[in-house]
Amino acid sequence: MKIRYLGHSCFVLTESTGTTIVTDPYGAIGYKLPPVKADAVTVSHGHYDHNNVGAVGGDPVVFDEEGTYEIGGVDITAIRSYHDDESGAKRGENLIFKFRMDGLEICHLGDLGEECSSALIETLLPVHVLLIPVGGTYTIDAEQAKEYVDRIMPAIVIPMHYKTKGCNLDIDKVDGFVGNFDNEEVEELDGSELELFRDDISEESTKVIVMEREK
């Protein structure tokens, strides 16, 4: 499978069969969403920096409710969670999406804001590739994100929802999150695309991959 990072919390996930899913397409955050087409779009919640469905071409199916789905051979599970640490009282609910693609379990945490709990972790497992917000303010911050990584123990972690050049949101840079790991555990990818195979997955260690956003 392939992962393309379009910035913020938006990824293009493509299975080897060609089925393509876009996660949380953003609106006006200081830079524009690159042109993209998909078979499906997942929306974690209704905020403008995550729900710009109209910007995605290809007449995609939109998944924005809790439930279990299938499209083009890809199994999708949308799990209800909270956008804050007060059971949604401040910012409402958030959907976590799990995808099974080419034998890999990919988890996109959306704008997760709630504290790490055993009940939520058990619902999410197993996870091979974890797409996790790390910028704080509106989501979990770097330290909370590290706790989720430690509890979930994915093979690959890709941070998202952090401050990058051009972004006008009041969120932190990725540095604080990356600083929680040893140098040998972190890879800064010189590009916006990553191809993964089931054989690439190590059950013994976790690697953090920081991707460049596609421009």
| Tens-place pLDDT, residues 12-26 | 999 999 999 999 999
pLDDT exceeds cutoff 90 at 90: no
pLDDT of residue 58: 96
pLDDT of residue 63: 98
Mean pLDDT on 107-125: 95
Question: pLDDT averaged over the chain?
Answer: 94
pLDDT exceeds cutoff 80 at 87: no
Cα(206)–Cα(182) distance, rounded to whole angstroms?
Answer: 11
- Report residue 82's pLDDT band, with 50, 70 and 90 as the boundaries: confident
Instruction: Give the domains, in start order, of the chain with CATH numbers.
Output: 2-210 (3.60.15.10)
Cβ-based neighbours of 114, under 8 Å, separated by 6 or more? 81, 82, 83, 84, 85, 87, 120, 140
Cα(98)–Cα(76) distance, rounded to whole angstroms?
Answer: 6
pTM assigned to the model: 0.95
Pair 57, 37: CB distance under 8 Å: yes
DSSP 8-state class, residue 153: -
